[in-house]
Structure 1
Amino acid sequence: MSRRPVEHYVNPEPFNPHSVLELTPEQERYYMASQWRLAWWKLKRHRLAVISASFLTLMYLVVIFAEAVAPYDLEERHTRYLFAPPQELHFFDDGEFVGPFVYGIEVSLDMENLRWVYGEDRTQRHPLRFFCSGNDYPGAGYRFWGLVEGSFHLVCPSQDGQLFLLGTDRLGRDMLSRIIYGARISLTLGLIGITISFFLGITIGGVAGYYGGMVDTVVQRVIEIIRSFPMLPLLMTLSAILPVTWPPTLIFIGITVLLALLDWPGLARAVRSKLLALREEDFCVAAQLMGAKPGRVIMKHLMPSFVSHLIASATLSIPTMILGETALSFLGLGLRPPVTSWGVLLNEAQNINYVVLYPWLLYPVIPVILVVLAYQFLGDGLLDAADPYKH
């Protein structure tokens, strides 16, 4: 049996090893990018997360400048308009565009049902004013963050009219203004609470994951005991212990600390599991052999490896604190007047008769739902962006 001669393939062009390594500018930009930049690029492709981040940014800007955004002061009362319904915003009058305005309010007393009856007075047209200043109508002046006198407002009613876009409560206070002021308490409580929870979770979970052994066992048992209690009943019990004689500031601090003390176990467990997996890596062992102390190894070498996941987890925990405060205040066991939060505003809607007759008292639940959903969508986007295995 004859053998066929072996044919040798001859490349007419000489092999250039550098041609294989040449990258386009886009490829070089991608492969040379840091972990944070890659996460940012992936986050920008998550549309819901970007929209949610923009919405939350707007909400916190409102929190900062609540006095200027709210049409009226927090406690400004309009005794002629108790339980006034929301005014409808108009742009056209008799087919002619005249800009945003509201009609006047007609007030009459229904003696049969013993309630105020409101209607539109179309003979009075009150245009909205923007970027107005000066104490030219009741409730225009304020103290910015309780420190600086001011009177600038983003939106103002006309000098002889009223502006109740979300109605008024039983004392004639503007609901829109109170919701804006309530956002300052509810959203700030979530940020302060997650800061305390973040510190406790990283510290306790980091110690348990780094040392392991008996320390890890004790921490795990404590976490399991805390998480075995029903969240809301435990919060109600602990908040009921707070003395009613405490000033509003101490009540606020107490509720914040309680929410943080019940939230840190979830974060601590995540930190512990990550450290258990990373403490045997070469870079961690090298740091230990060079004499680095445990605190430095944890904070300088281990934490940066999954800090993006911690930020995403913390983002998902903030809505839990906002809902916890809202539930406690709604039940009368959380923040109390004169402190105004979304939960405190919803407390007035406990009476079913009020809800039937004055449904706008439930409007504070709308920003609660929107903020919680925004944090959930943002947290999902951050988790996807922080995962190195997702493209």
Structure 2
Amino acid sequence: MPPGVGGGSPLPPPDTPTLPHFVSDAPFDLQSVEKLTPEQEKLYFASQLKLMWWKFKQHRVAVWSGWFLLILYASILFSEFLSPFNYQSRNTRHIYVPPQSVHFMHEGEFIGPFVYPIRQRMNMETGQREYTQNTSKPMKLEFFCSGESYYWFGLIEADNHLVCPPKNAPFYLLGTDKLGRDLLSRILQGARISLTIGLLGISVSFLLGIVIGGLAGYYGGWIDMVVQRVIEVLQSIPTIPLWLTLSAIMPANWSPILIYFGITIILGLLDWTGLARAVRSKLLALREEEYVLAAQLIGASPGRIIGRHLVPGFMSHLIASATITIPTMILGETALSFLGLGLREPITSWGVLLNEAQNINAVVITPWLLYPVIPVIFVIIAFNFLGDGLRDAADPYK
């Protein structure tokens, strides 16, 4: 009897696909589909972070920038050891010494790294000091040696240095300033302030941006309206005049540590608005998802929903945004210190060092005072490349 007639099984609708009753009836071998190569298993079962890492490694410039920044941040832990001198050591006999060259060959003979002693004389016509090298007497450099004592992070006294100047011979690879202080040592130890102020500033900005932007995006309504108006007011104020105003408010008798944290808080308070808007827009789109409703039904608090369920969903984008924002913090500190309203002596940073190069006459006569701007340029470029790589790796549409 035909199917569907006289009590037989009913015919399926004409548009319904029929599945085979047995595996052997299938037009393809399911067993062969289930077998994956090790490369496929590695790809299909990889976590989101691992997929981001694989994609990030394809951005070669970003990878090299990341290694450069990693080495640079690791070096600030040993700034005193890497510096030939203490950054506050003065030598009035060696004021405005030009950069010295390191030599390896003397009269056709390999000696190793050495420098020639310098002689100073006063030019009575120009009123300037002139330095000449005594090329008849090479002075070898010492490595992993004992030199000027210092306090590592202000706590542990030590005198170990990577390189030490020869006895009775100066060694200034990048020259000296108006007080006879070694510029290389000051750049190496000033990196600790300039680089960490960006990390601390972005921490303050991250905290404010996630909390304020999260509340605005999760609750909406009048809270969102108030937050948006505050952000618009802050973003309408010119950045540099606002920095100058807030920096000028800090008392002049504050210690260098208080000024350091004051500058950090100022930079963080003025840079959270862009991050808050990014967090708000993401939460407005994610708060209607089913897993948010499920968390609400089981009694999860708004703080837990935002911190444990919503923010981790786009944390990769936040990390990329923070990486691009850190250079702004470094430039802000450099600009304030350069204008004399940021960090001040005896603390040193790249901005403080550039403050000495404000006089155009000093720059023309002693151009090596502009050397602190070189690490600033390289760090800003490296952070921008690293941020581009992280942003591309975190973007699922690329």
User: Is the alpha carbon distance of 1:296 and 1:161 closer, same or farther for their aligned partners in structure 2, counting shifts above 3 Å?
Assistant: same
Give the aligned partner of residue 95 of structure 2.
82
1:150-179 deviation digits (Å, cap 9, x = unpaired): 011111112232210100000000000001
- CA distance, structure 2, for counterparts of residue 194 and residue 184 of structure 1: 16
1:260 deviates by 0.4
- CA distance, structure 2, for counterparts of residue 210 and residue 95 of structure 1: 75
One of 351, 355, 364 as aligned partner of 1:356: 364
Give the aligned partner of residue 218 of structure 1.
226
Give the aligned partner of residue 31 of structure 1.
44
Give the aligned partner of residue 270 of structure 1.
278
Residue type at the aligned position of 1:243:
P
Tell me whether 1:71 sits opposite 2:61 in the alignment: no
TM-score scaled by structure 2?
Answer: 0.92
Given that residues 104 and 123 in structure 1 are in contact (C-alpha distance below 8 angstroms), is that contact kept between their aligned partners in structure 2? no
1:13 deviates by 9.6
Given that residues 49 and 381 in structure 1 are in contact (C-alpha distance below 8 angstroms), is that contact kept between their aligned partners in structure 2? yes
Residue type at the aligned position of 1:248:
P
Q: For 1:209, what is the secondary structure of its paired residue?
A: helix
Q: For 1:141, what is the secondary structure of its paired residue?
A: strand
TM-score scaled by structure 1?
Answer: 0.93
- CA distance, structure 2, for counterparts of residue 42 and residue 163 of structure 1: 45
- CA distance, structure 1, for counterparts of residue 26 and residue 274 of structure 2: 61
One of 45, 55, 59 as aligned partner of 2:58: 45
- CA distance, structure 1, for counterparts of residue 320 and residue 392 of structure 2: 9
Give the aligned partner of residue 266 of structure 2.
258
Give the aligned partner of residue 5 of structure 1.
none
Give the aligned partner of residue 373 of structure 2.
365
Over the aligned positions, Cα root-mean-square deviation in angstroms equals 1.4
Superposed, which structure 2 residues align to 1:184-199 within 5 Å? 184-199=192-207
1:12 deviates by 11
- CA distance, structure 1, for counterparts of residue 56 and residue 380 of structure 2: 19
1:1-42 deviation digits (Å, cap 9, x = unpaired): xxxxxxxxxx99974212123221101101100000111111
Q: What percent identity do the matched residue pairs reach?
A: 62
The size of the alignment, in residue pairs, is 375
Tell me whether 1:234 sits opposite 2:251 in the alignment: no
- CA distance, structure 1, for counterparts of residue 375 and residue 288 of structure 2: 46
- CA distance, structure 1, for counterparts of residue 112 and residue 278 of structure 2: 54
Give the aligned partner of residue 161 of structure 1.
169
1:99 deviates by 2.0
Given that residues 179 and 341 in structure 1 are in contact (C-alpha distance below 8 angstroms), is that contact kept between their aligned partners in structure 2? yes
1:54-109 deviation digits (Å, cap 9, x = unpaired): 11111112211111011000111121110000001212222333222211112111
Q: For 1:107, what is the secondary structure of its paired residue?
A: strand
Residue type at the aligned position of 1:252:
Y
Residue type at the aligned position of 1:70:
S
Tell me whether 1:341 sits opposite 2:354 in the alignment: no
1:230-260 deviation digits (Å, cap 9, x = unpaired): 1111101111111111111111111111100
Runs of 4+ in 1 over 6 A off after TM superposition: 11-14
One of 252, 256, 279 as aligned partner of 1:248: 256
Q: For 1:263, what is the secondary structure of its paired residue?
A: coil
- CA distance, structure 2, for counterparts of residue 145 and residue 15 of structure 1: 69
Tell me whether 1:113 sits opposite 2:126 in the alignment: yes
Give the aligned partner of residue 125 of structure 1.
138
